[in-house]
Amino acid sequence: MAPFPYILVITGGVGVGKTTLIQELVNKEGDFVFIKEYVDYLPVLGERMLHDSSMDPTSLFDFQKMILSGYAMQLMMARGSSIIMERTPLESVKVFAALDVEARLAGKHSSLLDSEITTLERMAKNIMNTFEIPYPGDCPNTTLLRIPGRYAKCEQIQKLMFEDYDENRNVRWILLETIQLAQQMLNICERGREPIVDSNVKKFFRINVLHREMMRLKLKS
């Protein structure tokens, strides 16, 4: 028997409205457990480690391990329930590890050692396998939803959740992506995250692209 009757993964870059949307969905659907990311699940520790990792990049490995342990604890407690996940352990590691490797190749400071990336990916895969969560890009029910405004409409997601529902394919991935990066950065500022400067625009665009590539999705021309 699968650990969860139904899994909805809502993923995407920073500030695309994942948390806001999932909370609204959980409130409306009622029977779903929200599997949160680090800052919402462990807000005090999460915010402190996020700040520490921005000041001291060598602490990023411990920060990523904390993110993974947060996922594992929540999934264990949610066994038997339908869940909505904010990202998954493996993509969380892969996207930010990819950014770190790209920085190294560009001659910039790198925060993670190759051995640390390998350890994190092994930990993430173990969580995914234990709880029978498909790897990013391996789920046939995957949708790219580009948001023209501030946030995705809850009704859009509810329709997608049970579209072509099949009890043998009980996992759906939805990748959120903002059309305007300025709105994405505004959302981050309003949540009280690190100050946004012009140099971060390329980084946020790259995060969006990495998520899309991992889901094996292409923009329609």
CATH code for the domain in which residue 16 is found: 3.40.50.300
Residue 46, domain member (yes or no): yes
Is residue 173 a part of any domain in this protein?
Answer: yes
pTM exceeds 0.85 for this model: no
Residue-number span of the structural domain to which 87 is assigned = 7-214
The answer to the question of residue 219 being in a domain is: no
- Do the domain assignments include residue 1? no
| Inside any domain, residue 48 | yes
> pLDDT tens digits for the chain (221 residues)?
789 988 989 888 777 778 778 888 888 877 889 998 766 666 666 666 666 666 565 567 888 888 899 899 999 999 999 999 988 998 878 887 777 777 666 666 667 788 988 999 999 999 999 999 988 888 877 777 776 555 566 777 777 776 655 555 588 888 877 666 666 666 666 655 554 444 455 666 777 778 778 777 655 43
Characterize the bridge pairing of strands 82-86 and 32-35.
parallel
- For residue 221, is it within any domain? no
Asked if residue 56 is part of any domain, the answer here is: yes
Q: How far is CA 5 from the centre of its chain?
A: 21
Domain count, the chain: 1
Cβ pair 39, 50 in contact under 8 A: yes
Residue 109 lies in a domain: yes
